[in-house]
Amino acid sequence: MTPRALVTGASSGIGKALATELAKRGWKLVLVARDEQKLVNLAEGLVNGPHEVLCGDLSTDSGMFDVCARIDADLEPVTLLVTAAGSGTSGAFPWSPMTEEETMLRVNVLATLRLTHTAAHAMKRRRVGGIITVASTAAYWSAGTYAASKSWVLLTTLGLRAQLDKSGVRVMALSPGFTKTEFHARSQTDPSGVKAWMWLDAEDVARQAMDDFDAGKAVCVPGRRYRALVETVRHLPPGGRSAVLRRLAPLRSQAKVTPLPPDSSQD
């Protein structure tokens, strides 16, 4: 069976880096993102082609359906699912627009739920496969809806790994720290206060992720400093963890804050 990986969020950031690393390691790819031209350009530039392009918006039911259908297909089957598509918000809850919050949850949580559910059944049926989800170190020390979504990804992946034990399907969660991508610009967040040593290169994250996946690890936290930091703060109470993050990596929203509407209830 030809090793074939489906990578969501492949047009930029960590998803693009993972796709590039997989191609170098001999994988055929199914590249998924919203921007078809970016995917075509990427596919043409990767080694080990030709690669497949699947344009889809994972914040929509139709986009999720199309990707799930490709994962479930037995013709040229997907043997590795990488859920690198992710979404953030331009401010902290409840000040960010509700549309952003709902989109984030659909991409980070619902799409991950549906795609991994489909992959688990298809790969167990074939008795071979792998699943890599992209969580975040935010799951260990941050608060708010984005961190909650990544905590959901991490814990769900660990549960999925246990359920698929001895099935022939390998499962790993990738939990990177701050990585040099377009993510913060898209979410209108100013990361200039983040300590310089905390920044990771997407290519290094991808390389470490695949090394750890091949080694059979349950969770990959790229970077020795991040692994030490996660191990240190995980023993602190939630307030202490957040205080450490605010000191090391203060983030400022660049979006205009929309105040909550006044209470319209009547006595």
Active site residues: 146, 150
Under DSSP, is residue 228 helix (H, G, I), strand (E, B) or coil? helix
Which is nearest to 5 in space by CA: 59, 77, 75? 77
- How is residue 179 annotated by DSSP? B
Q: Phi first, then psi: what are they for 57, rounded to 5°?
A: -100, 110
Task: Say how far apart CA 36 and CA 159 lie, in whole Å.
Answer: 33
Q: What six digits make up the tokens of 239?
A: 């307030």
**44, 20 in Cβ contact below 8 A?**
no
Residue 173 is which amino acid? Answer: A
Strands (E), the chain: 4-8, 28-33, 52-55, 80-83, 129-134, 169-174, 189-190, 219-220, 252-253
Task: Say how far apart CA 13 and CA 200 lie, in whole Å.
Answer: 11
Under DSSP, is residue 196 helix (H, G, I), strand (E, B) or coil? helix
Neighbours of 158 (CB within 10 A): 17
Q: Phi first, then psi: what are they for 59, rounded to 5°?
A: -90, 0
DSSP string, 209-233: HHHHHHTT-SEE--SHHHHHHHHHH
**205, 259 in Cβ contact below 8 A?**
no
Which is nearest to 91 in space by CA: 184, 22, 9? 184
